[in-house]
Structure 1
Amino acid sequence: MLIFYLIFAFIVLFIFNTMAYSFCRKMELNELRSKKVYKVINMIMVTMLVCSYLRILNVAV
């Protein structure tokens, strides 16, 4: 189950980073602001993925 969840997390992070890249390009953000956008989005997504994994782990046990 852990391997499946890691693959799922990679796909989710890849999709969100692709959308963030499109957003930064469309809004014509400079490099510093786009790095901040990536950092915030990745922190939020990793937090959400960890919380959802812990929730799934509690349900499975």
Structure 2
Amino acid sequence: MFILFFIVFAVAYLFIMNSMTNKFVTQREVPDEKQPKVFNTINILVTILLISSYVELLLAA
């Protein structure tokens, strides 16, 4: 049950972060050739954050 909840939370969190990144890129008028790099960097960092949070919660339980 916990795994399912965490997966749903992670997907929702990634979606929210991507929409915020899109607003940031649009507002700052980042060139089109740099936009994929910005999205990739933020997605990788958020994924690392989610994985480390999951591992921490598993070890704490």
When normalised by structure 2's length, the TM-score is 0.93
Q: Comparing both structures, which one devotes a greater share of its residues to helix?
A: 1
> How far did 1:14 drift?
0.6
1:9-58 per-position Cα deviation (integer Å, ceiling 9, x unaligned): 01110111000000001111122211111000000000000000000000
Q: Percent same amino acid at aligned positions?
A: 32
Farther-moved stretch of structure 1 (23-32 vs 38-47): 23-32
Query: Any unmatched runs of 5+ in structure 2?
Result: none
Residue identity in the other structure for 2:15: F
- Of residues 25-34 and 14-23 in structure 1, the stretch that sits farther from structure 2 once superposed is 25-34
Q: How many residues align?
A: 60
**2-structure distance, mates of 1:32, 1:15:** 23
Partner SS state of residue 32, structure 1: coil
Superposition misfits of 4+ residues, deviation over 4 angstroms? none
List gaps (5 residues or longer) in structure 1: none
Note the aligned Cα RMSD (angstroms): 0.7
